[in-house]
Structure 1
Amino acid sequence: MDPHETEALPAAGHAEVRIVAASPEAARAVAEVLRHCFAGTEQRSYPTPGGGTRLHLTVDTETAAGTARTWLATSRPPTGAGPHAEEH
Structure 2
Amino acid sequence: MTAEPQLPTAGHAEVRVVAATPEVARRVAEVLRHCFTATEQRSYPAGREGATRLQLTVDTTRPAGPARTWLDSSRSTPGRGTEADEL
Question: In which range does the TM-score fall when normalised by the shorter chain?
Answer: 0.7 to 0.9
Matched, 1:70 2:65: no
How far apart are 1:61 and its partner, in Å? Answer: 0.7
Aligned positions, number? 82
Separation (CA, whole Å) in 2 of partners of 1:82 and 1:61: 24
Separation (CA, whole Å) in 1 of partners of 2:16 and 2:58: 11
Matched, 1:33 2:69: no
Runs of 4+ in 1 over 6 A off after TM superposition: none
**Alignment match of 2:16 (pick from 15, 18, 21):** 18
How far apart are 1:22 and its partner, in Å? Answer: 0.8
Q: Could you say which residue in structure 1 is the equivalent of 2:4?
A: 6
- For 2:55, what is the secondary structure of its paired residue? strand
- For 1:49, what is the secondary structure of its paired residue? coil
Structure 1's unaligned 5+ residue stretches are: none
Alignment of 1:23-62 (within 5 A): 23-50=21-48, 51-62=50-61
- Per-residue CA distance 1:32-77 (angstroms, 9 max, x = gap): 0010000010000001111310000000111011121111112122
Letter in 2 for 1:36: H
Q: What is the TM-score with the length of structure 2 in the denominator?
A: 0.82
Percent of residue pairs bearing the same amino acid type: 65
